[in-house]
Structure 1
Amino acid sequence: MEKRENFGTRLGFILVSAGCAVGLGNVWKFPYICGQNGGAAFIVLYLICLAILGWPILICEYAIGRASRHSEALAFHDLEPKNTHWHRFRWFSVIGNYLLMMFYTMVAGWMINYALRMLTGNLHGLEPDQIADKFSTMLLSPVQMTIFMVVAVLLAFGVCVLGLQNGVERITKVMMILLICLMIVLAVHSLLLPNMQEGLAFYLIPDISKFAEIGYGNVLFAAMSHAFFTLSVGIGSMEIFGSYLDKSRRLTGEALSVMGLDTFVALMAGIIIIPACFAYGVQPDSGPSLLFITLPNVFNHMAGGRIWGTAFFIFMTFAALSTVIAVFENILSMTMEIFGWDRKKAVKRNIVLVILLSMPAVLGYNVLSGLQPIGVGSTIMDLEDFLVSYNLLPLGSLLAVLFCTKKNGWGWKSFLQEVDSGEGLRYPKVVYPYVRFGVPLLIIIIYIKGYYDMFAPFGTKTLVFWMCVAAAFLALIFSFTTFNRKKQ
């Protein structure tokens, strides 16, 4: 097995970690849910939820990684007390990372595809219905979808094969710096558009009346759930970067830096997208239609729209690939540790495996479109996203928090000692009762509410069945972690 590498610089750690956290959801989801839930008032609520939920979970993942010097494939083995079996939960991470890449590589391929379309003028001058047809045609073409998915896989693994410092850190740093520069340029351009004031007001001016209109509970849950999911915690995707950290800096401040950069990208994305939509009389929408149908139509009405459209989709490509590279690094580390492979062998075998595993999502929009696994109109990608976002991320986060706080786990004292190693901001010890009991409770609420929102539209019987499934998973987790000690 290869010697464990370290990040070359602190900036490298922050940018690579933020690159993992900065996903496509930051760009097409955050601006929409922010505007729909009260604008600036929602942003304040989101930041509070990020601090009370995302921050402690992120620190738990970093601490487990740095203390063990392993991915989650072996981290629990190293840190768990004797005669306990927390290590069996490593499969949450292994399965979760592969599942995430089974559809995320396809979506990264969409970004590369549209960056090339904008650059070559393929969408220039088209009517709105023609732009919609272009997107539909892409989805119906398994060959085109496969080609761009493979390109995304090869590009990301091409970075990872160079190693942590020479590949992942060096290239992700450049990508993230370019991404931030592109965001600033695009945001300034958006603020200079005619009639942008309405969009900016929609996005940034507090509208408390929407809290009552939508429901205070629904707004709070929207803020809480996005704060939870935005940091990519739960399947070890952030834990792996803790394992590459030295002990010169305390983890509290490092986690805050990563959260700050992730939040900056989300806020800037709203400034780029919302005023542009309103400036051209287009109502912003969520999901793929915003990026691949609405925005190309907006760019077609702009002066120099082809240039701005190309810059936007290059920025989106960087956002997607930074996440893919980060998760691939975790997959490589896990398979190297489990099977004893060197990096090159792990890359070669995982290239083939990830491409094959990504095919169901690709074919789910065309050849296998008749399969609707979680309801009418759903796709294979929707099922994969449900398994990751609604199950493995919250359950994995719950396990990480319990492992760091329970006496039959790693334990609070060991956790604190690791978090406070080095210089920087100390972890507030007084938050122990909250982290031990409050954070798990919030995760459970998000988990149960996610199931409710997913299956409530399908009727009472379907909802009751799936709520029982969710409850069974939680019962299994708690029984396993409560009585987690083998007989001597």
Structure 2
Amino acid sequence: MTDLAADQPEFRWSSRLSFVLVASGFAVGLGNIWRFPYMTGENGGAAFLLIYLACAFGIGVPLIMAELMLGRRGKKGIVGSIRAVAAESKASRGWSWIGIFALTATFAILVYYVVIAGWTLDYIVRSGAGSFADMRPAQSIAAFDALMASPGRMIFWGACVVVMMALVVGKGLKNGIEKVTTILMPVFFAGLVLLSIYAMIVGDMGQAVRFLFFPDFSKIDGNTVIMAVGQAFFSVGVGFGTMVSFGGYLDKDTSIAGVAGTIVAADTGVALLAGLTIFPFVFQYGLEIASGPGLVFETLPVAFGAMPGGSLVGVAFFLLLFLAAITSCIGLLEPLVSYTIEKFGMTRPIATAILGGLIWVLGFATVFSFNHWDDLYPLAWTGMFADSTIYIVQDMIAVNFILPVGALLTAIFMGWITHKDIWRNELSSSSRLVQSLWLFAVRFVAPVTIILILAFAYIG
């Protein structure tokens, strides 16, 4: 175990459940509770959901399996594991650049992710203080705009997120990540279930169910497909290198197909529960279902302000949103720390502190892109990003380009370059049918789908 040789060389997950909770904690994040509902609202409800589910299981599961196999076989971070598997397959060491690609995207995403996670802390405090009571839509929008106009507040809350994230990761996998996540995730799941039950009682659950589960296929077009595939890809957490790092500590008798399916099922279940929590409030109070990213931060406070016990419900909701965010932050930071330890021989606490400081400082650019630098377009000379702020450029390039390309190269590497004895050995606990389906998916389904997404996004 190169990345933990100094402090816990024999680490293994305490149980299969512990691994699933940690991996699910990484996969379940703002993409499920913040991004999924507004993406669903903007792209046709159930029609979008059906495509999302097909992509999550048809593409997400095979790619997670590929990353877990890489980690368990290479027993290092993403760069070292790819290099080790390439050497075993008598392939070029150059394939390890896939790992650098993934880590670049992970770092870029984490820089702005901690800023958005900080918004949830701000809203927990404001909801607890009763700031949403009898709030009208215009007031809610103004309140969110006031946060965006306050770099000091965002920098402070971002620092809180970074400190909490670094304290957990700095303690290592056993005493930090596993211990904390196996506590937080059950609390998160239970809280979300309770909140969805409350939404069923107080909100318009019938309309929410019709919206989420009765598809209108007339609303499906090329854009719907692209958005659904992109959301599934982002949500299940492939392409970051985290699953490779976590896979390095799986026991040999753990079924990779089984845990991959469980992770995606948990991730998808949370997304659906989030929809069943948010949309009943939206429909009950006549709010806009297609209000974009503002659905959570601009629209829901209006509902919380109008309902009985709204302040308590608001605190509970934004606390759950924060739990989802912080567990994802922890999962994003881990492969970066692992690589830094492996590359530079640092101790884990020092590597974590340096990376945490860099992420916080570079996050200032994200913060300023919402206020002082909101008219700064770093790629104004391009056609595609001519009107994009720093934050939008970070998000678009990392999520819509680097991650898909990295996953495409990973699929090609595992499906076509890796020696068949390696993946057969890693999937020995699965049936021949499962092995054949996985191979077909990583050789053909995933690459073709990712190429089409990139073509539509950047050419069409």
* 1:189 CA drift (Å): 0.9
Normalised to the residue count of structure 1, the TM-score between the two structures is 0.86
Q: Report the aligned-residue RMSD.
A: 2.0
The 5 Å alignment of 1:83-122 reads: 84=92, 85-122=94-131
Per mean C-alpha deviation after superposition, the further-off stretch among 69-78 and 140-149 is: 69-78
Look up the match of 2:447. 440
CA distance 1:32–1:110, shift in 2 (3 Å): closer
Deviation per residue, 1:45-90 (Å, 9 max, x gap): 3322222211111111111011101111311221113461212333
The 5 Å alignment of 1:57-206 reads: 57-81=63-87, 82=90, 84=92, 85-193=94-202, 195-206=204-215
Matched, 1:12 2:18: yes
- Match of 1:105, SS state, is helix
Match of 1:384 among 394, 397, 405: 394
CA distance 1:425–1:265, shift in 2 (3 Å): farther
Does the 8 Å contact 1:4/1:69 carry over to 2? no
Look up the match of 1:285. 290
Q: Give, in whole Å, the separation in 2 of the partners of 1:286 and 1:126.
A: 17
Does the 8 Å contact 1:405/1:435 carry over to 2? yes
Look up the match of 1:255. 260
Does the 8 Å contact 2:203/2:283 carry over to 1? no
CA distance 1:18–1:353, shift in 2 (3 Å): same
Q: Give, in whole Å, the separation in 1 of the partners of 2:447 and 2:189.
A: 34
Deviation per residue, 1:203-243 (Å, 9 max, x gap): 222323433xxx3x443333333222221211312221111
What amino acid sits opposite 1:418 in the alignment? Answer: E
Deviation per residue, 1:308-365 (Å, 9 max, x gap): 0110000000011110011111211111111111211112222222112212101111
Per mean C-alpha deviation after superposition, the further-off stretch among 243-252 and 425-434 is: 425-434
Match of 2:317 among 290, 301, 312: 312
Look up the match of 1:397. 407
Q: Give, in whole Å, the separation in 2 of the partners of 1:405 and 1:295.
A: 44
Q: Give, in whole Å, the separation in 1 of the partners of 2:256 and 2:129.
A: 45
- Match of 1:96, SS state, is helix
CA distance 1:303–1:332, shift in 2 (3 Å): same
The 5 Å alignment of 1:244-393 reads: 244-373=249-378, 375=385, 378-393=388-403
- Match of 1:192, SS state, is helix
* 1:198 CA drift (Å): 2.5
Does the 8 Å contact 2:170/2:352 carry over to 1? yes
* 1:139 CA drift (Å): 1.0
Runs (4+) of structure 1 exceeding 4 A deviation are 35-38, 374-377, 423-427
Per mean C-alpha deviation after superposition, the further-off stretch among 229-238 and 329-338 is: 229-238
Q: Please list every run of 5 or more consecutive structure 1 residues that lacks an aligned counterpart in the other structure.
A: 454-488
Does the 8 Å contact 1:250/1:426 carry over to 2? no
What amino acid sits opposite 1:180 in the alignment? Answer: F
What amino acid sits opposite 1:448 in the alignment? Answer: A
CA distance 1:348–1:274, shift in 2 (3 Å): same
The percentage of counterpart residues that share the same residue type is 33
Does the 8 Å contact 2:134/2:305 carry over to 1? yes
Q: Give, in whole Å, the separation in 2 of the partners of 1:145 and 1:363.
A: 9
- Match of 1:80, SS state, is helix
The 5 Å alignment of 1:216-255 reads: 217-255=222-260
Does the 8 Å contact 2:132/2:304 carry over to 1? no
